[in-house]
Chains A and B, each alone.
Chain A
Amino acid sequence: MFVVLTAPALLSTCKRGTSAANDAFDRAALLTSIADGVVVPSVKRAAEEAITLDAAADAYASAASARAADVTTKRAAAQAAWKQTMLAWQAIEALQVGPAALASDSPGGQGLREAVYVWPVVSECGVDTRIADQSYAAGDFVATAEPAVRDLGALEYLLFRSDNMHACAAGGAVASAWAGLDAAEIAARRAAYAVILSEQVKAKTQALVDAWAAYRDSFIGGGQEALNQVFASLYYIELKVKDRKIAVPAGLSLICSKTSCPELAESRWASLSRRNVAVNVDTFAAVFSGGSGVGFDDFLVARGAGDLATTITEKITAAQAAIAALPGGMDAPIAEDVAALTAVYTAVKDLNDILKTQLITALNLRVPREGAGDND
Chain B
Amino acid sequence: MTRLEKGPGTFSVDAASLAAFRVGFGLILCVGAIRFMAEGWIEPFFVEPSFFFKYDGFAWVHVLSRGGMYGLYSLIALFSAMIALGLFYRFAVVAFTLCFAYAQLIDVTNYLNHYYLVVLVGALLAFVPAHALWSLDAWRKPSLRRATVPALALTALRFQFAVVYFYAGLAKLTGDWLLHAEPLNVWFTARDELPLIGALIAKPAVAHAASWAAFFYDSTIVLWLSWRRTRPFAFVAVLCFHTLTHVFFDIGLFPFIMTLGATLFFSPSWPRRFVRGLSAQAVASERPQRLVIAAFAVYALVQIAVPLRAFVHGGNVLWDEVGMRFSWRVMVREKNGSVAYQVKTRSRSFVVSPHDYLTWRQANEMSGQPDLVFQLAQHIGADLRARGFEDVEVRADARVSLNGRQPAPLLDPNADLLALSDVAPAILPLAPTPPIHLSSAR
B209 touches A371 (CB 8 A): no
- B365-377 interface code vs A (CB 8 A; 1 in, 0 out): 0010000000000
Interface residues of A in 334-376 (CB under 8 A from B): 349, 352-354, 356-358, 360-364, 367, 369-376
- B306-344 interface code vs A (CB 8 A; 1 in, 0 out): 000000000000000000000000110010111010010
B437 to chain A, nearest CB (A): 6
Given contacts A352-B338, A369-B360, contact A375 B252 (CB under 8 A): yes
Q: Which 5 A-B pairs have the closest CB atoms?
A: A20-B198, A374-B252, A364-B190, A23-B199, A357-B401
Instruction: Give the contact stretch, choosing among A2-10, A35-43, A153-161, A276-284.
Output: A2-10
Residues in chain A near residue B217, CB distance under 8 A? 1-2
CA distance A364 to B194 in the complex (A): 14
Query: In which size bucket is the chain A interface?
Result: 35 or more
Selected from B186, B206, B353, the residue in CB contact (under 8 A) with A362 is B186
B407 touches A13 (CB 8 A): no
B352 touches A254 (CB 8 A): yes
A247 touches B187 (CB 8 A): no
Residues in chain A near residue B212, CB distance under 8 A? 5
Residues in chain B near residue A23, CB distance under 8 A? 192, 198-199, 202, 440-442
Given contacts A253-B350, A361-B186, contact A24 B199 (CB under 8 A): yes
B250 touches A358 (CB 8 A): no
A9 touches B192 (CB 8 A): no
Interface residues of A in 212-250 (CB under 8 A from B): 223-224, 238-239, 243, 247
Q: Is B112 an interface residue (CB 8 A)?
A: yes
Residues in chain A near residue B210, CB distance under 8 A? 2, 5-6
Nearest B residue to A19, CB-CB: B199
Q: Is A144 an interface residue (CB 8 A)?
A: no
A243 touches B353 (CB 8 A): yes
Residues in chain A near residue B214, CB distance under 8 A? 2
Q: Is B1 an interface residue (CB 8 A)?
A: no
A2 touches B241 (CB 8 A): yes
A376 touches B441 (CB 8 A): no
Residues in chain B near residue A247, CB distance under 8 A? 350-351
- B158-183 interface code vs A (CB 8 A; 1 in, 0 out): 00000000000000000000000000
Q: Is B439 an interface residue (CB 8 A)?
A: yes
A251 touches B350 (CB 8 A): yes
Residues in chain B near residue A354, CB distance under 8 A? 407
CA distance A243 to B253 in the complex (A): 38
CA distance A367 to B367 in the complex (A): 14
Q: Is B269 an interface residue (CB 8 A)?
A: no
A361 touches B250 (CB 8 A): no
CA distance A352 to B198 in the complex (A): 30
A370 touches B361 (CB 8 A): yes
Residues in chain B near residue A259, CB distance under 8 A? 348
B336 touches A367 (CB 8 A): no
Instruction: Give the contact stretch, choosing among A84-92, A262-270, A300-308.
Output: A300-308
CA distance A251 to B347 in the complex (A): 12
Selected from B205, B337, B360, B404, the residue in CB contact (under 8 A) with A367 is B360
CA distance A25 to B265 in the complex (A): 43
Selected from A254, A256, A361, A370, the residue in CB contact (under 8 A) with B436 is A361
Q: Is B63 an interface residue (CB 8 A)?
A: no
Q: Is A252 an interface residue (CB 8 A)?
A: yes
Nearest A residue to B362, CB-CB: A370
A100 to chain B, nearest CB (A): 19
B200 touches A375 (CB 8 A): no
B146 to chain A, nearest CB (A): 35
CA distance A357 to B439 in the complex (A): 19
A19 touches B334 (CB 8 A): no
B436 to chain A, nearest CB (A): 6
Nearest A residue to B117, CB-CB: A376
Q: Is B189 an interface residue (CB 8 A)?
A: yes
Selected from A358, A363, A371, the residue in CB contact (under 8 A) with B361 is A371
Interface residues of A in 1-56 (CB under 8 A from B): 1-6, 9-10, 13, 18-27
B336 touches A356 (CB 8 A): yes
B213 touches A358 (CB 8 A): no
Residues in chain B near residue A27, CB distance under 8 A? 193
CA distance A326 to B202 in the complex (A): 45
B26 to chain A, nearest CB (A): 19
CA distance A375 to B248 in the complex (A): 11
Selected from A13, A256, A358, A372, the residue in CB contact (under 8 A) with B404 is A358
Given contacts A372-B39, A375-B249, contact A364 B189 (CB under 8 A): yes
Residues in chain B near residue A367, CB distance under 8 A? 360, 364
A24 touches B237 (CB 8 A): no
B348 touches A251 (CB 8 A): yes
Residues in chain A near residue B340, CB distance under 8 A? 349
Selected from A1, A308, A369, A376, the residue in CB contact (under 8 A) with B113 is A376
CA distance A353 to B340 in the complex (A): 10
A257 to chain B, nearest CB (A): 8
Q: Is B279 an interface residue (CB 8 A)?
A: no
Selected from A10, A22, A357, A363, the residue in CB contact (under 8 A) with B400 is A357
B251, B405, B436 — most chain A CB neighbours (10 Å): B436
Selected from B193, B209, B240, the residue in CB contact (under 8 A) with A9 is B209
A374 touches B251 (CB 8 A): yes
Q: Is B406 an interface residue (CB 8 A)?
A: yes
B441 touches A25 (CB 8 A): yes
Besides A27-B193, A374-B250, 12 new A-B residue pairs in contact (Cβ under 8 A), listed by A number: A23-B441, A238-B353, A353-B338, A356-B337, A358-B405, A363-B190, A364-B190, A371-B44, A372-B41, A373-B45, A375-B249, A376-B251
A361 touches B401 (CB 8 A): yes
Residues in chain B near residue A22, CB distance under 8 A? 199
B200, B212, B249, B355 — most chain A CB neighbours (10 Å): B200
Q: Is B301 an interface residue (CB 8 A)?
A: no
A304 touches B407 (CB 8 A): no
Given contacts A1-B237, A23-B202, A252-B351, contact A357 B336 (CB under 8 A): yes
Q: Is B54 an interface residue (CB 8 A)?
A: no
CA distance A22 to B250 in the complex (A): 26
B142 to chain A, nearest CB (A): 41
CA distance A376 to B117 in the complex (A): 12
Interface residues of B in 190-245 (CB under 8 A from A): 190, 192-200, 202-203, 205-206, 209-210, 212-214, 216-217, 237, 240-241, 244
Q: Is B21 an interface residue (CB 8 A)?
A: no
Nearest B residue to A25, CB-CB: B441
B337 touches A10 (CB 8 A): no
Selected from B44, B195, B251, the residue in CB contact (under 8 A) with A20 is B195
CA distance A342 to B404 in the complex (A): 29
B81 to chain A, nearest CB (A): 21
Residues in chain B near residue A360, CB distance under 8 A? 336
B291 to chain A, nearest CB (A): 35
Can you list 20 pairs linking A and B with CB atoms under 8 Å apart? A5-B213, A18-B199, A19-B196, A19-B199, A23-B440, A24-B192, A223-B193, A253-B351, A254-B350, A259-B348, A303-B439, A305-B404, A357-B336, A357-B337, A360-B336, A361-B336, A364-B187, A364-B189, A376-B112, A376-B251
Residues in chain B near residue A370, CB distance under 8 A? 360-361, 364
A358 touches B441 (CB 8 A): no
Nearest A residue to B187, CB-CB: A364
B326 to chain A, nearest CB (A): 13
